[in-house]
Amino acid sequence: MIRNYREHAANERTFLAWVRTGIAVIAFGFVIERFNLFVVAIASTSAPDAAHQLLAQRLSGPLGRYDGLALVFVGLGLVIIAAGRFVSIGRRLDDPEMHPAGGVRAELLLSTVVAVIVAGFCAFLVLG
């Protein structure tokens, strides 16, 4: 039997949940990037006049260009931090000494960044 099996299993479940979240954020970033390319391609082929071209450029403005890429990097950051915390907590579980519970600053920071990016994208769609 593995010593502290319940704690190790909980650590692994938490790690897998963070990895799933990171993959979902990365996938959402790819969807936003592809949607931006789709809007530009459709607008350039269906509307040769300048007014529609300007609207397409406005829709694919700076927020549309970098929003998906930012989500991809945030998702990668989530996976990297999850792996680091998984290894660190796994070592602490096997250590007979007591350790203080670590801070959650990194998770809060990345969650805030994701929320700001998604809110910015939603505002861009509503106002654009």
Contact assessment for residue 15 and residue 82, using Cβ atoms and an 8 Å cutoff: yes
pLDDT value of position 70: 83
Domain that holds residue 70: 5-127
What single-letter DSSP state applies at residue 29?
H
Contact assessment for residue 29 and residue 71, using Cβ atoms and an 8 Å cutoff: yes
Rounded distance between C-alpha atoms, residue 72 and residue 69, angstroms: 5
Q: Tell me which residues of the chain have a pLDDT lower than 70.
A: 1, 37-65, 99, 101-103, 106, 128
Rounded distance between C-alpha atoms, residue 48 and residue 88, angstroms: 57
pLDDT value of position 80: 93
pLDDT value of position 127: 75
Number of domains in the chain: 1
Which is nearest to 68 in space by CA: 40, 39, 34, 38?
34
Mean pLDDT of the chain: 79
Cα-to-chain-centroid distance, residue 6: 29
